[in-house]
Chain A
């Protein structure tokens, strides 16, 4: 593996300086606490504040909201370094703002941005995005939660589920149908709902993995939301949701190959130290080859992801090509994660089956990565349609 801490064509001195800060932060503030947070089922609010102070939550956002206006590779640094803790739940909940507030930052009114995006970037408030419903996930155009205008407010009714940070979130960006007559993509809007809104009931969901992340089912029962909390233009939520999805997928790809890397690092250290039949595991051809297969898949996923991001920043491709390649990058990266988690547990042997190893945890986190943010199947379908196949 090449050393990704040095400046190269993707990362400048500033990127790597931030990587160094973040790496020290993850080692001191996150890794020692992962087990406790996994047991608690949520992250402490203090972690959001510390991350906010370090600039982790504001990488891509404008300076007037407390962000740093960094580029996509600065966000890659965040994804790669946070993933070194080997707990996807930490990345998911600490990163839920990155799907929750972009619609507010990009399309929200000055008042919404100031009241809600700013404190989220500072780590004082927690944000979540609520799109998926019990009746449908990746098929956004089919969503049924309604928001009916009544005077100065919208009245929201419906259900959202599998919402990351849903229990703790103070700010929830909810996709709703504002025009009940419209079918499909038309008539969908984003509405900002505060966590303590009357009529909102949150139920905690228990999961296969990502334990440190609080995941909720949200039921909206005649929730009155001020009409000023409409994000952007009524009825134009679908397009915003799609671009939001695309960027989410890019960073899920980063998280997936980084988790694969965490498995590889653990398996390699184990294989070089554990002895069997008179030599280290790494000395046995069958294990050496496994390790190289893992490294090759991580490298391929990372290289593809970097290239997709780089070409986007250079604006080299039409949007359909970018969307198709993003989808393919996500699938390639989650495939790498699936493969590496499996092989790492196998190399660790009995130890890989034990709680407390990174590989055991990541093994339980494979499925959420091949499902969340667009399933593998939806990714392939999307790529096919964008490429005109």
Chain B
């Protein structure tokens, strides 16, 4: 079985994101970019399936700017076998919308015929949480979203999902799309020997046009703004004062 893992290049989760002065978006100049953390979990899970003998090949895919090669090299250094980069934007500020991403992925799935697509449940930049579901609809495949446990048994995948009420376990027929949640695994550190090997692994470069997909945005961002700053707190001398203040404000 082949596992396809889509990965996205996003602002590193440690970076404090700043909104551009004119409100047209966030500042990306000189900002550290990394693989979306949920995608890292998906890559890790795919590699574990391979190590467990349940998958033969792990293919990572990224759609976006050319610099997403670095993100793919990270996936290769973790243990993916090869990578496909679909260059669909020239400008780092252009975000390809989930439907366009799903359409390109659907074409790649047709070509690659994976048994599983393992994706992050959402990207931490726009938090859309849509691509996996859209891909499932386009392909007519089963989906298991927000996976916190995954087992592959024969032609089925058993997925434990984190839902509002707790955990739900479902069985889906493969091929399937699984989107992964935070608690599925802890991604490994890429070791130096694997980082060196990753340089030699194949990375194919394509364009959105190769797949005949129109990536023109359908949504317009009206304005980007910082969240309102929190008002400064107040330091009280003791617990009694704290309780009195809380009563005064009617919160207890």
Contact = CB atoms under 8 A, between A and B. Distances in A.
A53 B188 CA distance: 11
Contacts of A24: 189
A25 B192 CA distance: 12
B74 A17 contact: yes
B214 interface: no
A328 interface: no
Given A13-B70, A13-B73, A25-B189, A18 B32 contact: no
A18 B192 contact: yes
A21 B196 contact: no
A231 to B, nearest CB: 25
Interface string A3-20: 001100000011001101
B193 A18 contact: no
B94 interface: no
A68 B34 CA distance: 24
Given A14-B196, A68-B196, A55 B191 contact: yes
B190 A69 contact: no
B189 A14 contact: no
Interface string A63-85: 10010111000100000000000
Given A13-B70, A17-B73, A17-B74, A54 B189 contact: yes
Chain B interface category by residue count: 10 to 19
Contacts of A66: 193
A20 B70 CA distance: 13
Contacts of B70: 13
A17 B195 contact: yes
B199 interface: yes
B49 interface: no
A58 interface: yes
Interface string B179-217: 000000000011111111001000000000000000000
23 contacts: A5-B32, A6-B32, A13-B73, A14-B195, A14-B196, A17-B73, A17-B74, A17-B77, A17-B190, A17-B195, A20-B34, A21-B189, A21-B190, A22-B189, A24-B189, A55-B191, A55-B195, A56-B192, A58-B192, A63-B193, A68-B193, A70-B196, A74-B192
Interface of B: 32, 34, 70, 73-74, 77, 189-196, 199
Q: Which 7 A-B pairs have the closest CB atoms?
A: A55-B192, A21-B189, A55-B191, A68-B192, A21-B190, A54-B191, A17-B195
Interface of A: 5-6, 13-14, 17-18, 20-22, 24-25, 53-56, 58-59, 63, 66, 68-70, 74
